[in-house]
Structure 1
């Protein structure tokens, strides 16, 4: 699908961003989602009340991952091994709670907003397998990174959550903490929907579009890399 095709999509009155939606984020021990352990996690729930006012509820987990937290990752999220051991839930308990909460949201059709979804969801999937916990079918997912690359393909610069907050004028306090990041991801996604009415569709439809967009984005980046690295491989899998 090309960028132009996105703007041929009709907007709808039952857009995903007008109802309940949940932001999800994890902070971990490693950049490799297959080996990373969860150190903290958050679900930030956005609901519209009967009077039209939006309510926000935050659920947070501090986790004892059962392994040493490297100093370089502590420097990012601020959680030391000592604090995790002293204050955190055992990993198996926290992962079960988190996976259970997400399962409920997905089963109810709630769009779950996850910045760079393949990382966070892979981390949780691997943790669930590690602790013998069921893992939900992740759908519908809204990924601001995939969407931003589609609607503003030629914008220069980085596309981290902090960068997107700058572009969409979203206040991000305490970046690289699970709850602020999860909340900001939802706010950025909402701003995208406001800026691009063609994104105002059902969450399930947008989920399917993102699968295609991610595959095309990965293929384009792989082709670019292969100009100098013929064996470069970029995964187009999404949201896992």
Structure 2
């Protein structure tokens, strides 16, 4: 049976910044979608990240330091619950949809290390799999299309509604719906066994990183380095 005919688990984070090694989770969502795209179950979290939320980040997701401190859960307890929810979904065999998985899954992994809780990989005994990343797949199947590849742009391209961008729940749901449309549009992807699709993305993400790194070295920074690993950036020692 095609993965498009089964349920999907979608995961998204809003954070204090873009560095997986130092930034923190502010909000998170884990949402299960039925085959028809309807939301079957959901969990959301608001965290007190324990650090000030930069104004630039607050302007994107709308959560201020003061709001997070007043209403957010203690980060350690919330990170434990988020990692457990993601691992539980993957353990059930449900594919995990994550837009730009390399970022969200790696940041969650670093938060687990920060608070000394078991990571998703440690709970599963292996790296998270199967993961479906609409960013990686779209770049692979339509590599020469001009324009942005952010979630809002993919939603527009594939005809998916995104009513509350940068809300973790809304972004998670939209990413899962984009993946279904992507699979319908590019039938070889939609028919591919999940293990093969996951392996394809490992290769595609590495190729995309090599291409971006070469471009940056030509045009901006001769020493630019773009991480090739997917869906999880290895921890540094």
Alpha-carbon shift at residue 55 of structure 1 (Å): 4.6
State whether structure 2 residue 143 is matched by structure 1 residue 153.
Answer: yes
Retained in 1: the 8 A contact 2:37–2:177? no
Deviation of 1:221 after TM superposition, in Å, equals 2.1
The question of 1:207 aligning with 2:198 is answered yes
What SS class does the counterpart of residue 31 from structure 1 fall into? Answer: coil
Shift of residue 54, structure 1, vs aligned partner: 4.5
SS of residue in 1 equivalent to 2:165 = coil
Match of 1:235 in 2: 227
C-alpha RMSD of the superposition: 1.5
Q: Does the C-alpha gap of structure 1 residues 67 and 15 become closer, same or farther in structure 2, counting only changes over 3 Å? A: same
Structure whose CA Rg is larger: 1
Partners of 2:78 and 2:202 in 1: how far apart? 29
Distance 1:125 1:46 in 2: 24
Gaps of 5+ in 1: 1-13
> How many aligned positions are there?
224
Q: Which digits, 9 at most, give the CA deviation of each residue in 1:30-51, with x for residues without a partner?
A: 1111111111000110124xxx
What pairs with 1:26-41 in structure 2 (closer than 5 Å)?
26-41=13-28
Conserved 8 A contact 1:44-1:59: yes
The corresponding residue for 2:53 is 69
Any idea what the Cα deviations from partners look like across 1:173-214, whole Å, max 9, x if unmatched? 110110000000000000000001101222222111100011
Q: Name the residue aligned to 2:65.
A: 81
Q: Relative to structure 1, is the Cα distance of residues 215 and 56 closer, same or farther in structure 2, using a 3 angstrom cutoff?
A: same
Gaps of 5+ in 2: 122-127, 233-237
If asked which structure has higher relative contact order (CA below 8 Å, sep 6+), I would say 1
* Cα distance in structure 2, aligned partners of 1:208 and 1:123: 21
**2:163 aligned counterpart, secondary structure:** coil
Alpha-carbon distance in structure 1 between the residues aligned to 2:15 and 2:38:
30
Question: How many Å apart are 1:159 and its aligned residue?
Answer: 0.4
Alpha-carbon distance in 2 for matches of 1:34, 1:216: 23
- Which structure 2 residues correspond to residues 1-240 of structure 1 after superposition, within 5 A? 14-48=1-35, 54-137=38-121, 138-200=128-190, 201-228=192-219, 229-240=221-232
TM-score (norm 1): 0.89
* TM norm structure 2: 0.90
1:151 to partner: Cα distance? 0.8
From the superposition, tell whether residues 55 and 178 of structure 1 become closer, same or farther in structure 2 (CA, over 3 Å): closer
